Structure 1
Amino acid sequence: MTDPSTESGKVALVTGASRGIGFAVAQALVARGERVVITGRDAASLDAAVAELGGPDVALGVAGKSHDAAHRAETVERAVAAFGRIDHLVNNVGTNPAFGSMVELDLNVARKILDINLVATLGWVQLVHAAWLREHGGAIVNVSSISALGPAPGIGMYGASKAAMVQLTQQLAYELAPNVRVNAVAPAVVRTKFAEALFAGHEEQVVKSYPLGRLGEPSDIGGAVAFLLSEQAAWITGQTLVLDGGLSLGAGLA
């Protein structure tokens, strides 16, 4: 268990954190004494999330789209102005607006997926690194997906973007060492609104593939991300932690 005293007073920026995995990450960080800056597209949802996290003393919400460079710049600027630092960055925003075969995928949709899931991730890293991490050090966690590790029927471009995120994680870990650690997590199906289409109406059948007998909960991912950001993970960088309830122990991801 992470010693809260080693993390108290630090500040994390968590993207896509008004609900689901991002919110669970923010909860885990606040619980051990960190302050958080969270982003999301809907201002009202962010306001509610900030209130649930403990209010403006510990949380700041900045509404906008992750692939909007102006939003990224505003968020980093407001984070430093409000809390004075950004020790941790969690890139959680992701999109998957298409379901079907890759060979039939609209290329404009493919570009959108890559822009939001990959290019924006690099954009966040560049800004936070320039604002704080380059001089003071810290840690980054990118939220990838088990779909990065093999064929992902129906969500191929999403999986490809998340596979690229794994490589990006390794590249950044190499480039930013020794002062900044960069890791990733690769969840299987987690019980969130984003993933609902993958289990709604047939959850019992889906769960049969999981040796641990259940889908993931946002808190499962939140706790793992919090660990990778902590001093207990001080000798871990460039790694992707698979969080899948044992799914990958089976015959395949399909």
Structure 2
Amino acid sequence: MSEPTAPQSGQRFAGQVALITGASRGIGLGIAQRLNAEGATVILTARKAEALAEAVAQFPDGTAVGIAGKSDDAAHRAEVFDTIAEKFGRLDVLVTNVGINPVYGPLIDIDLDAARKILDVNVIGTLAWIQEAVHHEGLNFRENKGRVVSISSVAGQVPSPGISFYGISKAAVSHLTRSLAVELGPDIRVNAVAPAVVKTDFATALYEGREAEVAATYPAGRLGTPEDIAGAVAYLASADAEWITAQVLTADGGVITAGGSA
């Protein structure tokens, strides 16, 4: 069994192991980079092995591990947790970032099979990752005062035309966060971050060709970046937030307060 990255002075996650799902690009990769920069050994998951390998190659040698597979596949999740247990014998931080939105249009016309798939990945998948992290005997997640941070969305806070069912799934993630925080405390803290539009491939359709127009509705004057969300996640997962649990931190540049939508 190898040891996590050696602790370094001033790093909030020195000696800790963090798992970030959906981390080959975008928000997930940004979170992994931030936690790694603060001392964590990071485990990244994603569907596509080649993209995941390219992401892992960006990290210092020996500080990142990539395991490819589908987030809603129980065998993949088991492989991830067994690998972490074998290599490191611990898990300190779990970031559930995987989310899909394969449809765009009126809620009244959504294909019900697509709706079921969204719920299966975004909600059931999130719950499954957390359940299995807590129950896996080789991870000592509870003993290590584990921290969970899930990625929700402001689309789960206000009606968001075109992506309404995605918003419904993210509202469920937010409530899942609060419910699990109550169940798992005081040993495990559970929080979430709810972004508005972040400049990633996933959100391109929401701003492509009209970024200045969309950004003008944000009091902060710009759209979000993966680094913005990574900073929020790192805070919630750190000892700086030791008395914070059951919270959904809105990271939206002020757009919802200003009357906007996702």
Same topology, TM > 0.5:
yes
Question: Take 1:143 and 1:251, find their aligned partners in 2: how far apart are those partners?
Answer: 22
| Residue 190 (structure 1) aligns with | 198
Deviation (angstroms), 1:246: 1.0
Amino acid at match of 1:174: V
Report SS of the residue matched to 1:190: coil
- Of 229, 232, 235, 1:224 maps to 232
Shift in CA distance, 152/206, structure 1 to aligned 2, threshold 3 Å? same
| Residue 234 (structure 1) aligns with | 242
- Of 209, 215, 220, 1:212 maps to 220
Report SS of the residue matched to 1:211: coil
| Residue 184 (structure 2) aligns with | 176
Question: Take 2:117 and 2:100, find their aligned partners in 1: how far apart are those partners?
Answer: 9
Q: Report sequence identity in percent.
A: 52
Deviation (angstroms), 1:249: 2.0
Deviation (angstroms), 1:133: 1.7
| Residue 42 (structure 2) aligns with | 36
Deviation (angstroms), 1:136: 3.0
Gaps of 5+ in 1: none
Question: Take 2:144 and 2:229, find their aligned partners in 1: how far apart are those partners?
Answer: 26
Deviation string, structure 1 residues 3-58 (Cα, Å, up to 9, x no partner): 84442010000000001000010001111110011100111111111110223x11
Amino acid at match of 1:150: V
Question: Take 2:169 and 2:104, find their aligned partners in 1: how far apart are those partners?
Answer: 14
Q: Aligned pair 1:45/2:59, yes or no?
A: no
Q: Aligned pair 1:143/2:148, yes or no?
A: no
Deviation string, structure 1 residues 157-176 (Cα, Å, up to 9, x no partner): 10000000000000000000
| Residue 20 (structure 1) aligns with | 26
- Of 119, 124, 131, 1:126 maps to 131
Question: Take 1:47 and 1:67, find their aligned partners in 2: how far apart are those partners?
Answer: 20
- Of 225, 243, 246, 2:251 maps to 243
- Of 59, 66, 71, 2:64 maps to 59
Amino acid at match of 1:227: Y
Question: Take 1:216 and 1:5, find their aligned partners in 2: how far apart are those partners?
Answer: 25
Question: Take 1:53 and 1:19, find their aligned partners in 2: how far apart are those partners?
Answer: 13
Deviation string, structure 1 residues 82-102 (Cα, Å, up to 9, x no partner): 222111000000000000011
Question: Take 2:142 and 2:10, find their aligned partners in 1: how far apart are those partners?
Answer: 24
- Of 71, 84, 87, 1:79 maps to 84
Amino acid at match of 1:250: A
Asked whether the equivalents of residues 12 and 39 of structure 2 are also in contact (C-alpha less than 8 Å), the reply is: no
- Of 167, 170, 175, 1:167 maps to 175
Shift in CA distance, 6/213, structure 1 to aligned 2, threshold 3 Å? closer
Question: Take 1:5 and 1:143, find their aligned partners in 2: how far apart are those partners?
Answer: 23
Question: Take 1:143 and 1:116, find their aligned partners in 2: how far apart are those partners?
Answer: 13
Gaps of 5+ in 2: 1-8
- Of 114, 118, 122, 1:113 maps to 118
C-alpha root-mean-square deviation of aligned residues, in Å?
A: 1.1
Structure with greater helix share of residues: 1
- Of 89, 92, 101, 2:97 maps to 92
